[in-house]
Amino acid sequence: MDRNPSPPPPSRDKSEEEEVAGGDCIGSTVYSKHWLFGVLSGLIQIVSPENTTSSSDDDKHQMELDEEMENEICKVWDMSMDEDVALFLQEFNAPDIFMGVLAKSRCPRLREICVGILGNMACFQEICVSISNDKNLGQVLLHCLYDSDPPTLLETSRLLLTCLSQSEVASVWVERIQEYPAIYDTICFIMSSSTNVDLLVKVGEVVDKLFDLDEKLMLEWIKNGAVQPLDQPQEDSKEQPVFKIVPCVLEAAKQVRSENPEGLDVYMHILQLLTTVDDGIQAIVQCPNTGKDTWNLLFDLACHEFCQSDDPPIVIQEQKTVLASVFSVLSSIYASQAEQEYIKIEKELPLIDSLIRVLQNVEHCQKKPENSMDSNTEETKKSDLTPEDFHLKILKDISCEFLSNLFQILTKETVAQGLKEGHLSKPKCSCVFQNLLPFYSPAVEDFLKILQEVDKTLADDLEESFPSLKVQT
């Protein structure tokens, strides 16, 4: 059976058609108000006191949903994507009914549907504001994050993301989440243990949005798993796990990696947001195992999965945001832990190769058609900067900074090895010089001095191609 059956068809009976024409329809739709009243009344009956104070023999019954009622309420779920229907549900105080269901019902399917309907309704700003400002409903919805049912968790996360994306009420939800420290443990538990990719992606989007909205909350979550609580009673035999944000994010990223590229992009961006604060960088590198796991995963993505030598250059358009995050995090780790054993020269050269390939592909994508060169004025450049161009520029800037850092520590032996293995051929070195000059001149000059000792012919050729270097050497 479909999870979300189609909405009920318009009535075909002549008398019913006349009734609809006479004002029974909802807004400009053909959906019947009376039919919807009936479904909502049925929901009220389900959670009425006489139906919720049953004996233990009825526990199984409480966990199940009548098939006819499920079909009816699923139709409401689909209908609620229509603004007229959503507004009518709001006017009829349906959110209060759904709140009652969520507070009292033990049926996972019914809880999922009710949160799903609220999620659809929240897509419309007026209703989103109303739902968000209802403190009691907000508390009930946040408690749904403690649910053990993945579909309910998915719909709850979708609803939260919708509300967090509304600037008018985002701060309300951030403050509300800060009031419930246990939400951190719940979200970390999902990221570290769930195999439901859809749920992991949606939870990741919620975390990403929260960190982007509020640095204070991000810092609190970074520090939450930093130390074992000292006030835990020793006689408490049931030890609570201490979740650390970075390992949980890494575990979720590994889970979604092969099945959902967009989800991987989300988790890489979470790591990048963590590196925007010192505590976040320390959370990654302070524990050797965490630093090593992060470096190895991102190194593997950069060197063996994204932007490979046999990929067409245009592939960079699909991978630009995730690569920007990956290189940004790798650069932060490198700057903090350059002497760690897991960052070795064998890994620096493939990274250099990957960074050069990215820059080559970015350059290819940024080339303008020949017939448009005449109009390439400064004013035209600014007005023609598309979101794609903007993200390519960010990727280029991050790649150049990381590449300059790597070039500054190259030794004579490393350069010789890079030349032998093809990582530092003339076309690749030319690409590096073209992108690093003039902003990273010291890194280029240091590299050229070493290259003079290893391959003087190549060094002279590069000097000839880049006259600005002759003046300074």
pLDDT per residue as tens digits for the range 368-388: 655 554 445 554 455 567 888
Residue 303 pLDDT class (50, 70, 90 cuts): very high
pLDDT band at 1 (very low <50, low <70, confident <90, very high): very low
DSSP 12-31: -SHHHHHHIIIIIB-TTS--
Place of tokens 């759904």: 98
pTM: 0.87
Question: In the prediction, which pLDDT does 294 show?
Answer: 95
Higher pLDDT, residue 416 or 51? 416
Average pLDDT value for the chain: 86
pLDDT of residue 232: 44
Do residues 42 and 94 touch, judged by C-beta distance below 8 A? no
User: Hey, is 211 helix, strand or coil?
Assistant: helix
Q: Note the pLDDT of residue 13.
A: 53
Q: Distance between CA 460 and CA 451 in Å, rounded?
A: 9
Paired with 32 in beta bridges are 25
Q: What is the mean pLDDT of residues 223-247?
A: 63
Residue 20 has pLDDT above 50, yes or no: no
Which one is predicted more confidently, 261 or 30?
A: 261
Residue 67 CA to its chain's centroid (Å) = 36
Q: Residue 185: pLDDT above 80? A: yes
The Cα angle at residue 400 between residues 253 and 313, in degrees rounded to 5: 70
d(Cα 95, Cα 134) in Å, to the nearest integer? 10
Confidence of residue 310 (pLDDT cuts 50, 70, 90): confident
Of 92-106, 114-128, 316-330, 344-358, least confident by mean pLDDT is 344-358
For residues 149 and 22, the model is more confident at 149
- Percent of the chain's residues with pLDDT above 70: 82
Please give the pLDDT value at position 9: 54
**Which of 46-60, 252-266, 297-311 reaches the highest mean pLDDT?**
252-266
How do residues 398-440 score in pLDDT, each as one tens digit? 999 999 999 988 889 999 999 999 999 999 999 999 999 989 9
Question: In the numeric block, which tokens belong to residue 183?
Answer: 């939400």
pLDDT of residue 253: 98
Range with lowest mean pLDDT among 109-123, 150-164, 268-282, 336-350: 336-350
pLDDT for position 389: 86
Q: Look at residue 397 in the predicted model and tell me its pLDDT.
A: 96
Task: Indicate the length of the chain as a whole number.
Answer: 473
Question: Angle formed by the axes of helices 83-91 and 94-104, to 10°?
Answer: 70
